[in-house]
Amino acid sequence: MAELGRFALLLCLFLSGYAILADLLGSWRKDNGLLDSGRNATVACLGCLTIAMAVLFIVLVRGDFSIKYVVSHTSKALPLAYKLSALWAGAAGSLLLWLWLQVGFVVVAFCRCRPQEKVFGGGARAVANLVSVYFLLVMVIDKNPFDVYVAASADGAGLNPLLQHPAMILHPPTLFLGYAAFVVPFAWAITTLGYRRSDVSVPLFRQANNWILRAWLFLTVGIVLGSWWAYEELGWGGYWAWDPVENSSLLPWLTATALLHSCRTYKAQSPTAGWVKVLSLLTFSLCIFGTFLTRYGLVSSVHAFDEAGLGLLFIILLVHIWIIALGFALYRRLRYGISKSASAWRGVRFIIYNNWLMIIITLVIFVGTLFPFLSGLFTDKKITLQPEYFTKITSPGGLLILLFIGVCPYLLRFGITLGRRTIGAVIVITAAVVAGFATGGYAVPCFIICGFALLNLVADVVGYEMKPAEGGNKRTFNRRGLRWYGSRLVHFGVLLMFVGIAGSGAYGTEEQRVLQPGGTVAIGRFKIVYNDLTADHGPNFTAAKAHISVYENPGPEATINDNKPNVPANAGKLIDKLTPSRAVYTARGTAVSEVDIRRTLGQDLYLALTDLDSRSKMINLRILVKPLINWIWIGGAVMILGVMLVLISRYKPKVITGD
């Protein structure tokens, strides 16, 4: 089986090399035969990669322990779902998955062109196949998922127990879906740079535009899932640690957000045309760079995979891409001169301001992420930045984003005028700044601006609904309405998310206590009583379960009574019983704490059993009160729903009926 997989990869490498030549020559000479041949080769690449994926899947499920990748990531006892997720648990498998998705998207986007778009499609395919070649080189030479041992092993090493969680099955592939989908706008952008200037409308823009939205959707889902997993599973109570791996998924998300907004006003010679191209390039480059950064240990990370190897090929790929792009741009500049921007819709400059804001935030996070590496270049010491750097630097940036969400809906329509709304905005900004200095934090300004933005969103919706429809007809819920509401919903989701981030970040409290049975802790408006420790057995683990009663704290007179046996008389009303536990996986001896959370929309009470002594039944308990944190996930869900509405609105049925 492994031979088949290796052969498929080699054949794919050959085919994508051929496709580049055929497509380049075909678009140069406008030769239909060559272009068709390039297209067929690209489709054949997808076929080869599908075979390779199938082979890897089969050997993982069947447990072929002569293959290194299978041995490192699975074991006989692993449940089927986790054997499947082992497909993307390692560098080699995840590269294969990424490439497979990428070529699949390229086939969908660029292999079914209309006749007048054929030449353009060929160019885009050539660019995409160039990326494929690099990926395949890395896989064939360095990270081959089909490498075999001389002598087969009896059993595999298994999957890290922390990764054995449903969110972890979904989180990596959704991120890869996002990364891979950005190849479409990327290939489109480079081809556009090399395209004849005289055409007003650039072909295939609708394709690129749709794929940007899809990629953004996947990336958002992936990031939200990842942070939710960290909160539920890691027992540390946070959801985002500003780790290089997390940052490397956030960076392309930020540039992609700018890209989405630039696409809204795109026309071939509009002021945002350049932005769309640059941001497409930047986003895809950041996707690749993130992979390089984390997979090859340039910066040590909590997630570090630290596998030295041919990571340099990714850097060469990036340099190659940017040289091509700059070359094309320079050629255009020399050949056609600087083009006058077509008279644009006046709101366009706010989109450009937004782009700059996103770029600056991206840059600041990028520098922070690479800081240990950069400082190592200039001094003989490595300097790392603590997560506080990122929170300090992104908080004002986040507030600016919020402000943009608040003011842009009407700035785009009316511009800056001396009206009620402008005065309102100035008052709100002043209030936010004053509140920020008075409280010494960002949370209150965040709430103020969120409220302002919400008000504006509501006003916008009301204005939209009140506006009479064209021709005096009764307004119907049409496609345009769907798109309009979808995008407003996304922004509403962002607001909810910011409320959650600010609330849980600024008003959370945290306690770490040693408790005997009967001990109590007062935290926030809760009183927590530790009752008992019991043993629990699962199929492959033994667990200790702490039984904890949660009372509503009656008032400030309730004193903190540590380790005082018996429940105090004024304990208040029993509102919940929580059972955080700690499971020891017998096979490996690693302990995993299972948190228990009392969830309400107002606040979460988060209990994690961090350590225990089974003889004396004493426990170490980590208690967190996280106000408003659930609004982060709710906001994420609202955002995802909104993007889906926009995507549905863009769906065009092939056959137009009725009209």
Per rule CB under 8 A, is residue 382 in the interface with another protein? yes
Give the DSSP H/E element, type plus range, for residue 582. Answer: strand 581-585
Stretch that binds another protein, among 32-40, 85-93, 126-134, 446-454 (CB under 8 A): 85-93
* Closest CB 295 distance from another protein, rounded Å: 9
Q: Nearest distance from residue 91's CB to another protein, in Å?
A: 8
- Least spacing, CB of residue 293 vs another protein, in Å: 15
- For residue 546, give the 3-state DSSP assignment: strand
Q: Site mask, another protein, residues 481-520, x = CB under 8 A?
A: -------------------------------x-x------
Residue closer to another protein, measured from CB, 3 or 306: 306
Binding mask 525-544 for another protein (x = CB under 8 A): --------------------
Angle at Cα 353 formed by Cα 349 and Cα 354, nearest 5°? 115
- Residue 398, classed as helix, strand or coil, is helix
Residue 157 as a binder of another protein (CB under 8 A): the answer is yes
Residue with smaller CB distance to another protein, 257 or 394:
394
Cα gap 480→647, rounded to integer Å: 11
Least distance (Å) from another protein to the CB of residue 390? 8
| Interaction between residue 422 and another protein (CB under 8 A) | no
Smallest Cα–Cα separation from 606: which of 632, 572, 576?
576
Q: Which of residues 569-598 bind another protein (CB under 8 A)?
A: 588-593
Sign of the CA dihedral with 316 first, then 319, 322, and 326 last? negative
* Distance in Å, CB of 442 to another protein, minimum: 13
Instruction: Give the tokens for residue 450.
Output: 């969120």
Long-range contacts of 479-483 (CB under 8 A, 24+ apart): 479/649, 480/649, 482/645, 482/646, 482/648, 482/649, 483/645, 483/646, 483/649, 483/650
Say if residues 176 and 101 touch (Cβ distance below 8 Å): yes
Q: Which is nearer to another protein, 58 or 157 (CB)?
A: 157
Tell me, by CB under 8 A, how many residues bind another protein.
54
Query: Any idea of the CA torsion for 543, 547, 552, 554, to the nearest 10 degrees?
Result: -130
Handedness of CA 473, 475, 477, 482 (dihedral sign): positive
70 binds another protein (CB under 8 A): no
The one among 417, 433, 611, 614 contacting another protein by CB under 8 A:
611
Q: What b/e sequence results for 41-68 when a residue is b if at least 16 CB atoms lie within 10 Å of its CB, and e otherwise?
A: bbebbbbbbebbbebbeebbeebbbbbb
3-state secondary structure of 286: helix
Q: Which of 68, 74, 75, 62 is nearest to 92 (CA)?
A: 68
158 binds another protein (CB under 8 A): yes
| Interface residue with another protein, options 114, 343, 388, 480 (CB under 8 A) | 388
CA distance 451 to 448: 5
Backbone angles phi, psi at 628, to 5 degrees: 65, 10
| Burial track 427-448 (b if 16+ CB lie within 10 A, e otherwise) | ebbeebeebbeeeebbbbbbbb
**By CB under 8 A, is residue 396 in contact with another protein?**
yes
Residue type, 366: F
- Interface residue with another protein among 344, 352, 618, 634 (CB under 8 A) is 618
Residue from 1, 54, 304, 359 touching another protein (CB under 8 A): that is 304
Minimum distance from residue 176 beta carbon to another protein (Å): 14
**Per-residue x/- track, 335-364, another protein (CB under 8 A):** -------------------------x---x
372 near another protein (CB under 8 A): yes
Among 19, 35, 89, 254, binds another protein (CB under 8 A): 89
- Nearer to another protein among residue 44 and residue 234 (C-beta): 234
Q: Which is nearer to another protein, 392 or 479 (CB)?
A: 392
| Other residues' Cβ atoms within 10 Å of the Cβ of residue 536 | 13
Binding footprint of another protein on the chain (CB under 8 A):
72-73, 89-91, 157-163, 234-236, 300-305, 360, 364, 367-368, 371-372, 381-389, 392-393, 396, 512, 514, 588-593, 608, 610-611, 613, 618, 620, 622
